[in-house]
Amino acid sequence: MTANALRDALRLYLIADAGLVPPDRMPGVVRSAIAGGVTIVQLRAKRLTARAQVDLARSLRTVCDEARVPLIVNDRADVASAAGAAGAHVGHVGQEDLLPSEVLGILGPQAIVGVSVGSAEEAARVRDAAYLSAGPMYATTTKDDAGPAAGPDLVRAIRRVTTLPLVAIGGITHDRVRELVAAGADGVCVASAILRAADPRAAAAAFASELGIRTTGGG
């Protein structure tokens, strides 16, 4: 995938968190969200067994493949490999997760590898990643260890030290999208604002509208 194609794919990034939607309902919710404009999906299922994660990832890959949307797996390169996912997302470099180079060693050089960063200093140290995820932008209850809200200033600081595609994450609602894009974000990561919505497709469409994403209306 070219850099421009990856930037397009990262515009509306759904975190399919199994702590917010039960695994049996997740494929249907993700299908609706993609119909609303989601351009990439990450499975986050830390509390599931490896077997359950692989089964869910395979189900989501079927949904994503139908829409030609990449599927990323949070943390687990082994799960991503078993499910045939497009890549994996790892935490802050030098902490508990695998290094991007190690993920590439498991998944192959074509894999999309993302890294979470919380400062410009961290962003400047990242090597071998395809994109960065910066946050939290605003207060969030989705991730227990997210840290204090940093806001658009973090996006600006990171953009000054890297040309990698950059997505913003953490407490993002559709009315906050434009200020993050103006600060330098290529896209936004969303979990609860879509997953917990009464109509995930409509919720995704509200984000897509702010991002200028045209949807086909399928699904």
Establish whether 201 is a catalytic residue.
no
Q: What confidence score (pLDDT) does residue 150 get?
A: 86
Indicate the pTM of the whole model.
Answer: 0.94
Q: How confident is the model at residue 217 (pLDDT cuts 50, 70, 90)?
A: low
Catalytic residue among 31, 143, 159, 176: 143
DSSP state at residue 98: P
Q: How confident is the model at residue 218 (pLDDT cuts 50, 70, 90)?
A: very low
Establish whether 44 is a catalytic residue.
yes
The alpha carbon of 173 is separated from its chain's Cα centroid by a whole number of angstroms, namely 15
User: What is the C-alpha to C-alpha distance for residues 186 and 4, in angstroms, rounded to an integer?
Assistant: 10
Catalytic residue among 32, 59, 116, 192: 116
Q: What is the arithmetic mean of pLDDT over 191-210?
A: 97
Q: How confident is the model at residue 219 (pLDDT cuts 50, 70, 90)?
A: very low
Q: What is the arithmetic mean of pLDDT over 136-146?
A: 71
Burial of 2 (0-12, 13-18, 19+ CB in 10 A): exposed
Q: What confidence score (pLDDT) does residue 144 get?
A: 58
Least Cα distance to 134 among 144, 142, 121, 95 occurs for: 121
pLDDT in tens, 103-124: 999 999 999 999 999 999 999 9
Q: What are the structural domains, with CATH classification, of the chain?
A: 3-211 (3.20.20.70)
Establish whether 61 is a catalytic residue.
no
Catalytic residue among 11, 31, 44, 61: 44
Q: What confidence score (pLDDT) does residue 145 get?
A: 59
The alpha carbon of 25 is separated from its chain's Cα centroid by a whole number of angstroms, namely 19
| 105-to-78, 101, 109, 118, 156 alpha-carbon distances in Å | 11, 6, 7, 25, 31
